[in-house]
Structure 1
Amino acid sequence: MARPKPPAAPTIALTPEDAETAFYEAMASGDVGRMMSLWADEEDVLCVHPGGGRVVGNAAVRASYETILADGGIPVSYEAVHRLQRADVAVHHLVERIAVDTAQGRSELRMLATNVYLKTPLGWRIVAHHATAAGPDDRPPPEPAPTTLH
């Protein structure tokens, strides 16, 4: 009989960006323990997966990610981050890019995601993650043109 894996030690995220990077790395590697070490230890944390309902509480969020990542990690990257930050809370809105294999070859799904972070004594922690399918008009804005020429 295999021993259950001990819970991952909390990841200390010094900034919301550190927490976000670690969250997506954990998702890509399929490491539910590491992912959950980034969530706040609050029973009112919540997560909404694309096409799904609201999942509330650490145990329910963990169970949802255990199901999603049962076959391994998700090849995900992100871009076009818009940030709002105050002393102890940060909200990031971004575009997730997920690589998927189809009968026609490799394709990409785009999701709009909102991540909310709270500053705690153990660093920045996720308190909410909400992702939904991006529409055809939800493309990242083009990079601004340089204002100076050298």
Structure 2
Amino acid sequence: MAQPKPLQALLLATPDDTEAQFYESQQQADIERMMAIWADDEEIACVHPQGPRLVGAHAIRAGFDEMYAHGGVDVRAVQVRRSVIGSCAVHQVLEQVRVATPEGPQTGYLIATNVYLKTPQGWRMFLHHASPGGQRELHEIGESPSTLH
């Protein structure tokens, strides 16, 4: 059986490819996979809900190491709004998080912004910023389309 290529050797061809790796790495508590999706830039940043801004690969790794101390995080993107402008992609994401509690499994929601850059190695994450959300975010509030007369 052939060994899978390390993620660093994979060309993440689209922002969606990178986003899929981001969420899968959280579910599996795979810190190497998580760090491989980030851009090679000293200004990369990550903000976990109600946490400080983590800037740079070392700080981001430490933040995810702490998060993974108890295993994977059952988080997935359930709604994504995508915008791509040149070599930058912005995904506005509603994340669903499931956690085990003494009262049984609970589901919560986060609102996240994921920013990706197109690099010679493919699309890489530049920013992840998540904030607490609620079930009401399942229904977006937006401007009504205007009609020109």
The answer to whether the superposition gives a TM-score over 0.5 is yes
Match of 1:60 in 2: 59
Whether the aligned pair in 2 keeps the contact of 1:95 and 1:140 (CA below 8 Å) is no
More helix by share: 2
Partner of 1:90: 89
TM-aligned CA deviation for residue 128 of structure 1 = 0.1
The C-alpha deviation readout for 1:54-112, integer Å capped at 9, x for no partner, is: 11011110111111112211011111100110120000011111111122211101000
Count matched residues: 135
Per the alignment, residue 100 of structure 1 pairs with 99
Letter in 1 for 2:116: Y
| Structure 2 residue matching 1:52: 3-state secondary structure | coil
Question: Alignment partner of 2:73: what SS?
Answer: coil
Higher mean C-alpha displacement, 67-76 vs 110-119: 67-76
TM-score norm. by structure 1 comes to: 0.85
Structure 2 equivalent of residue 76 of structure 1: 75
1:12 is aligned to 11
State the Cα RMSD in Å: 1.5
Measured in 1, the distance between the counterparts of 2:7 and 2:21 equals 13
Distance in 2 of aligned mates of 1:9 and 1:123: 10
Note the alpha carbon deviations across 1:22-71, whole angstroms, 9 max, x for none: 11001100001101000001110000000101110111101111111122
Say whether the 8 Å CA contact 1:46–1:129 is kept in structure 2. Answer: yes
Contact 2:112 2:128 in 1 (8 A): yes
Contact (CA 8 Å) 2:108, 2:134: kept in 1 or not?
Answer: no
**Deviates further, 120-129 or 63-72:** 63-72
Q: TM-score, normalised by structure 2?
A: 0.85
- Written as runs of structure 1 = structure 2, the 5 A alignment for 1:1-150 is 9-141=8-140
Q: Does structure 2 conserve the Cα–Cα contact (< 8 Å) formed by 1:10 and 1:38?
A: no
